Amino acid sequence: MMTLLVKYTIAIVLIFLALWGWLLVQHLVRRNALRHPEWGPPREEGEGCSGHCACLAGRCERELSDPAP
């Protein structure tokens, strides 16, 4: 039977591994975007409407208010 200290240690290590994994994924996506600029910039978390209720007919309010280039 594992002691409480071992359980806490395992939980802390797993949390840090998950954080490190997410940072690694972000790094790889940014590096890939630099290598392939024709694909456009990577979408960061929280950018765009992401399908939330702030969208109008599938387009973001932010996109609708910006003039087209």
- Contact (Cβ atoms closer than 8 angstroms) between residue 41 and residue 29: no
pLDDT at 39: 85
pLDDT, position 47: 62
In this model, does residue 56 exceed pLDDT 60?
no
pTM, two decimal places: 0.57
User: What residues does 60 pair with on adjacent strands?
Assistant: 55
Contacts of 62 (CB under 8 A, 6+ apart): 48, 49
Radius of gyration of the chain (CA): 20
- Name residue 55's beta-bridge partners: 60
How far apart CA 31 and CA 28 sit, in angstroms, is: 5
Residue 40 confidence (pLDDT): 82
Q: Using one digit for the tens of pLDDT, what is the confidence trace for 2-53?
A: 799 999 999 999 999 999 999 999 999 999 999 998 888 877 766 656 555 5
